[in-house]
Amino acid sequence: REKQQKKKVEIIWVARFIKWKHPEVVIKLAKELRKENVEFKIKMLGTGKLIEKIKREVTKNDLSGQIEIVGQVPSSKVKDYMEEADIFIGTSDSQEGWGVVVNEAMNAGCAIVANRRMGSVPILIKDGENGYTYDKYPELKEKVEYLIKNAEARSKLGKNAYLYITQKWTSTIAANNLIKLFESILYG
């Protein structure tokens, strides 16, 4: 999937606004990128008990030009937002289960930068090939900034993410792998 090249790179964050999803990291990232005069737009999709606090932080830090709190979006529309975005950021910590948003972002051809502790990330993301992973915040900022400034890298990661999720991680392949696992357990 080729993404349209836009003047402002669009970043998407999709999660519940709760503590272990770390929406505050998005505020920190936006403040630091703006300070360095980097052009970008972040859309935050979701709802939760921290949404009002995050909205106040956006206002307090004068980030409305950089961050749009979209709020709750029907799951059928999330894909449309992802397909418009260039970069997906996943900031959840190890309390995340699988984290299906990573699959969805890969399917939408987003360049991904996600916390290595998010459920599906160590399985789906091959760091530097079909996305980026990070351990600590400085790594997140560095990788997002690099992708904002490097359209070729964004395109390559997004394309590789799409190909991986559509060709190597399909339900048919998963079912066949499960059958192989059961057979190997059964037959030693």
172-184 burial, b at 16+ Cβ within 10 Å, e below that, comes to eeeeeeeeeeeee
Q: Rounded to the nearest 10 degrees, how much is the dihedral formed by the CA atoms of 168, 169, 175, 178?
A: 90
Tokens for 35, please give them: 């300070």
Tokens for 145, please give them: 């900034």
Full-model pTM: 0.89
DSSP summary character for residue 64: T
Continuous segment of H or E residues that includes residue 12? strand 9-14
CA atoms of 76 and 159, how far apart (whole Å):
22
CA atoms of 181 and 106, how far apart (whole Å):
26
Q: What is the pLDDT, as a whole number, of residue 96?
A: 78
pLDDT by 10s per residue, the chain, length 188: 555 666 799 999 999 999 999 999 999 999 999 999 999 999 999 999 999 999 999 999 999 999 999 999 998 899 999 999 999 999 998 877 777 899 999 999 999 999 999 989 999 999 999 999 999 999 999 999 999 999 999 999 999 999 999 998 766 776 777 787 777 888 87
Side by side, the strands of the sheet bearing 132-134 are: 67-71, 40-45, 9-14, 87-90, 111-115, 132-134
